[in-house]
Structure 1
Amino acid sequence: MKVEYILDNDVDKRLDKQLRSLLSLCFAKPSDKRFKTQRYYNEMPQHRWLVRSKDKTEVIAHVAVHEKSVTFKGQQFPIAGVAEVCVHPDHRGNGHVKHLLAQAHQWMISQGYLYSVLFGKDEVYGSSGYQRVTNLYLVSEQEPYTATAVSAMVLALKQQQWPASDVELKGLSF
């Protein structure tokens, strides 16, 4: 299985259409209809890892990564926000997610990220080393500033454990 890395800025019209097709197929909640017209949920990720079909006519597996930071105890730390993880139903069970995440994790470490954060299911991401945390707060970027507690999954990419105190993530969820 060949994993491709691409900056989102380099996505052409053909790949955009393939990504929207896969994302629309994988995400079926009413709010996910946005994938028919855009290749991102709330905001455009900067990085993508994907697996294409042998004839390159479709993307069969995909992971997006946002460059983010979190704040705790007054300090900011870089995180990689994992989003839009999906595999075409005909290609599930072949280890694509694990393989894509492994490639993305290597890149995250090389870029100096301390943590990889995602919003997902324990049974899917636990085997890739992610652990559930409940001390992450999404903080709005506009007044009045509000903080909403969210449940997320975190993978420590270096030897630094996720903090026990409250952690703030400004902006939109990914």
Structure 2
Amino acid sequence: MDEPLNQALIDLLSACFTKPSDARFKTQRFYNEMPQHRWYINGDHKNHVVAHVAVHEKTIEVRGKSHPIGGVAEVCVHPDYRKKGYVKALLTVVHQWMEQQGMHFSVLFGRDEVYGSSGYVRVTNLNVLQEDPLAQPTPVSAMVKPFKDHLWPTRSVLLPGLVF
């Protein structure tokens, strides 16, 4: 990634995520770890990014069995370009790509009113296990979109690693 695009992404993320806890976006284009994949929409010129979605390749564990997932992160649209369907358009492409990669689920941490119309449902049985060997799993509320014939488990689900 060249520096102009890096700066364009930082500019977009810092314009969209403005809570004090989001200050990291003033200097970096990711929350906790660099995602493996990004989709974005340019505005007037090449380095004018107006919408963005990042995807982390992750796995969840259920009763000792691993399932590949796409962790969706840094979903945003510049305030001047909202209400044009950019998030839904980006997610449609991202979901097709995830299915082609054999991922069972798309997982994100977001609001029901934003992501429900793209097929996401709220789950409360996801537990994040940080990389610290002494840490206990932390229950979190997330949104999930299943692919193909996969059903989100009713039992406890473990997400090892950093939150995206």
TM-score, reference length from structure 2: 0.98
Aligned residues: 164
One-letter code aligned to 1:74: G
Unaligned runs of 5+ in 2: none
Helix, strand or coil: the match of 2:139? strand
Moved over 6 A (4+): none
% of aligned pairs identical? Answer: 59
Q: Which runs of structure 2 are paired with 1:60-79 in the superposition (5 Å)? A: 60-79=50-69
Aligned 8 A contact 2:125 2:156 in 1: yes
Q: Which residue of 2 aligns with 1:50?
A: 40
CA drift of 1:57 comes to 3.6
Measured on the aligned residues, the alpha-carbon RMSD in Å equals 0.8
Map of 1:129 onto structure 2: 119
Q: Deviations 1:108-166 (Å, cap 9, x if unpaired)?
A: 01100000000000000000000000000001222213110000000001211100000
Indicate the residue corresponding to 1:117 in structure 2. 107
Q: Aligned AA for 1:153?
A: M
The corresponding residue for 1:17 is: 7
Q: Distance in 2 between matches of 1:33 and 1:58?
A: 21
Q: How does 1:80-91 map to 2 (within 5 A)?
A: 80-91=70-81
Contact 2:10 2:25 in 1 (8 A): yes
Q: What's the offset of the Cα at 1:12?
A: 1.3
Q: 1:127 to 1:37 in 2, by over 3 A?
A: same
Q: Is 1:143 matched with 2:126?
A: no
Tell me by how many angstroms 1:33 deviates: 0.9
2:29 maps to 39
Provide the C-alpha distance between the structure 2 equivalents of 1:46 and 1:137, rounded to a whole number of angstroms: 22
The amino acid that maps onto 1:168 is L
Asked if 2 retains the 8 angstrom alpha-carbon contact of 1:115 and 1:158, the reply is no
Distance in 1, Cα, partners of 2:78 & 2:132: 37
Residue of structure 2 aligned with 1:107, choices 97, 116, 122: 97
Distance 1:143 1:62 in 2: 33
TM-score (normalised: structure 1): 0.92
Partner of 1:165: 155
2:70 counterpart SS class: strand
SS at match of 2:142: strand
